[in-house]
A and B are shown apart, each in its own frame.
Chain A
Amino acid sequence: MDMEAQRYVWDGAIPLQIHLHESDVATLPAPPPALVNLYILAPRIGYLPLLASHLKSHFSSALPPRLDTIWFEYKGLPLKWYIPTGVLFDLLCAEPERPWNLTVHFTGYPGNILIPCEGEDSVKWSFINSLKEAAYIINGNCKNVMNMSQPDQVELWRSVLNGNLEPYRRVSTKLKLGTVGDEYAAKLNLSGETDFSGQVKAGRVPVRLYVWSVSEDFEDLEDAPQIDSWDKVSYINRPVEIQGGEGGRCFTLHDAVKSLLPEYFLDKSLTNEESLTVGDEHEQRVSSEDASSDRKAEEEVENSSEHITSCYQHDDAEIKLVRIQGIQPKLEIPFSWVANNLMNPEHFLHICVYLKVPQANTMS
C-alpha cells in the first residue's frame, strides 16, 4: 500500500474560524472580537466535539456558568458531529472556504436533528462502532474489533485523537482488515508500471456516500447553492462490491459511484455481466447457491435490461463533482486505490458527490 497518500490524509487539516454564538455570550458589555473568535486547525480525520476543551478554555471568559452539550453550525445548518470534519467541509463547502467560518454553541442542543453527544466518549464509541461495521463488511464478522485488547483500544483511539499514524498502523494491522484488491496492488509493485488488466480480488469496500443533488445548473462551484438542510443530502451507507476475475476491466471510482446510485445511472451499454456488477449484493449468492434463485435473478436481469433499452434516451444524472479527502480524483482511477489510500481511520471511505439531476427534483 502506498503509505504516502495515507500520510497526506492523516496530516490534512481544515483552518477554522470559530465564532461563539451571541446567545452564549454572558458578559456585558459584549467582549472584544478576539474573545469570541478563535482560529484553529482541525484535523480532517477528527471530529468537531473533540475541539471542545480547547474552545471552552478559549471562550471561558464570555461563557455562562452552566453549559450544555457543545454543537457547531455552518450558516444555520447544525453539523453532525459523527461525520469526520474533513467530510463535512468537503460536503458543505462546494467552493472551499478558508478559513471555514463555523459558529459554536454551548447551549440549546438541537436534539431533534442531532444524535446526543456526551463528549469524547460518544465520539470514541461512534468511531469504534463504525470500525466494527467496516470489519464486518470486509471479513463477515467483527471479532477482531470486538476482541481488541483494552490497551490496543486505548492506543488506537489515542492515535486518531492525536493524528499519530505510526501507533495507528501498529494496532490496526492486528485487526486484519487487509486492503482491497491485494493481488492487483502486488502486480503493480512488481512490474513497476500501471497495468489495469491485472487480477482484481473481489471484495466489499465500506463506503459512506453523501449525495447532494441539485436540479439547477451552475457553471462555477462558487455559484452552487447552499445546503441549508440535511434533508437535501442523501446519505447512502452501502458497501461497494468489487467483482473478482482475471483480465477484466478495471473497476473504477466511476463504477463504484454508479453502483451506489443505480437509480440515476441507467447505463446505456450495460451487458448482462456488467449489470450484475452494478446491481445489489445478491449476485454473490447466485453463483453458488440454489438454482431457483439463480433463474429468478437471470430473469430480473433480463427484465431490467429491457427497461434500460426503453428508457435510456432520457437524460441521465450528471456527476458534477466527486470529492474525497479534499481532492477531486479522476473518475477513471482504480477504485481499489481510492479505497486503500483515501479511507478514514475507521476504514470507511467517505465520498461526497454533487449530482446534477434532470428536471425539478430534490432528494430527501
Chain B
Amino acid sequence: MDALSWDGTLTSRDFLVSARAFAEKWKEFNSAFPPWTWVPCPPKQPPCHLPQLQQQQQQGYLSLEKTCLPGSSKKGHVASQEDVDEISLTEGEEELEPVDNATLVETNNSPQVCYYDFHIVYSDSYRVPVLYFHCYYIDGHPLGLDEIEKDLPACSAKVLLESKWTFITQEEHPYLNRPWYKLHPCGTSEWMKLLFLGDDSLAKNGVAVEQYLVSWLSVVGQVVGIRIPFEMLNNPKSCN
C-alpha cells in the first residue's frame, strides 16, 4: 500500500495477517512474557457448513491473558473481600492502609496480585484494532475502574479524568458477551496514518501490513503500560 494515500485502516483479512506476524515477533523478542495467542471465533454452525470455516477463521482476536502489569501490585495491602469493596469507596488508598481487624488475614505483606487480560479485537466499524481488557484479583473478583486507574501510567489517569466517557469505558466484549474495558478507537486511523507517514522507510516501501499491530500497540500499549521491545519496532519485515 502506498503510505500517502493510505487512510490508516486495515481490512479484517489484513488484521489476521498482522496479528499472526505480531504474535510471532512477540514470541521472538519478548520470550520472558506469556505469548499472544490467536483465538478463532467461528460462529458455531452445523458440520455441513465446514468448508466455510476456512473463511470464518478470520473472525477472532488476539489474546494475552493473566499478565501482571509492572505497576499493578497493591503494595503492602492484603485485602479481604470487604476491604476491596471498602477501598473502592475510599480516596487515597495508598496512605490509608485500611485495617479491618475482624477479617484481615496477614499474609507476609505480599502485594495483592491482580491479573490483566488483554484482547485485541478488530472493529468492522472503524476498521482498526481495538484493545479490550479485563482485570481481576487472584480470586476472580474484578477491579473497578477507580482501582485500575491507579495501575495506569500517570498520563492515562489524567486523560481518564478529563474524558470519562470517550477514552476508556466498559462495553460489551464483542465475542464474550460480557462487560470489558475498551479503549475508544475513533482516532486510531488518524494517528496510525501519521505514525506511518512519519517513518521514512515505511513511506518509501509502502505500508507493511505485518508491521501494523506492532506500531499500533507501541502507542496503545502505553495507555495501559504494555511495553513493546524496541527490537520489535526496529525490525520491520518487508511486505509483498
Determine the main DSSP class of A at the interface with B.
Answer: loop
Q: How far is the CA of A315 from the CA of B46 in the complex (A)?
A: 10
A234-B12 contact given A115-B170, A142-B186, A314-B49, CB 8 Å threshold:
no
Q: How far is the CA of A236 from the CA of B79 in the complex (A)?
A: 39
A237-B174 contact given A263-B45, A314-B48, A357-B45, CB 8 Å threshold:
yes
Q: Which of B1, B2, B125 has the most CB of A within 10 A?
A: B125
Contacts of B49 in A (CB 8 A): 263-264, 266, 311, 314
Contacts of A125 in B (CB 8 A): 165-166, 169
Q: How far is the CA of A262 from the CA of B14 in the complex (A)?
A: 19
Of all chain B residues, the one with the shortest Cβ separation from A128 is B165
Contact segment of B22-30, B176-184, B223-231: B176-184
Asked whether A361 lies within 8 Å of B124 as measured between CB atoms, the reply is: no
A282-B55 contact given A237-B174, A358-B48, CB 8 Å threshold:
no
Contacts of A146 in B (CB 8 A): 186
Asked whether B177 lies within 8 Å of A230 as measured between CB atoms, the reply is: yes
Contact segment of A66-74, A285-293, A318-326: A285-293
Q: Which size class do B's interface residues fall under?
A: 35 or more
* Of the residues B52, B165, B240, contact of A263 by C-beta under 8 Å: B52
Of all chain B residues, the one with the shortest Cβ separation from A316 is B49
Interface string of A14-28 (1 = CB under 8 A from B): 000000000000000
Interface string of A31-75 (1 = CB under 8 A from B): 000000000000000000000000000000000000000000000
* Of the residues A132, A206, A307, A363, contact of B43 by C-beta under 8 Å: A363
Asked whether A289 lies within 8 Å of B1 as measured between CB atoms, the reply is: yes
Closest CB-CB distance, A31 to chain B, in whole Å?
31
Asked whether A281 lies within 8 Å of B124 as measured between CB atoms, the reply is: yes
Count of A interface residues, CB-CB < 8 Å: 52
Interface string of A350-364 (1 = CB under 8 A from B): 000000011101111
Q: Which of B167-220 contact A (CB under 8 A)?
A: 169-172, 174, 177-179, 184, 186, 189-190
Interface string of A325-364 (1 = CB under 8 A from B): 0000000000000000000000000000000011101111
* Of the residues A140, A231, A315, A364, contact of B7 by C-beta under 8 Å: A140
Closest CB-CB distance, A213 to chain B, in whole Å?
9
Closest CB-CB distance, B134 to chain A, in whole Å?
11
Contacts of B177 in A (CB 8 A): 230-231, 235, 364
Contact segment of A97-105, A106-114, A154-162, A220-228: A106-114
Q: What 4 pairs between A and B have smallest CB-CB spacing?
A: A314-B48, A125-B165, A307-B51, A238-B124
28 pairs across A/B with beta carbons < 8 Å? A113-B178, A114-B179, A115-B172, A115-B179, A116-B170, A116-B179, A129-B165, A136-B186, A239-B125, A262-B52, A263-B52, A263-B56, A264-B49, A280-B12, A282-B12, A289-B2, A290-B1, A304-B55, A310-B51, A311-B48, A311-B49, A314-B48, A314-B49, A357-B46, A358-B46, A361-B45, A361-B46, A362-B44
Q: What 10 additional pairs, Cβ within 8 angstroms, besides A142-B186, A266-B49, A280-B58?
A: A125-B165, A129-B166, A136-B125, A231-B177, A235-B177, A263-B43, A282-B11, A289-B1, A361-B46, A364-B44
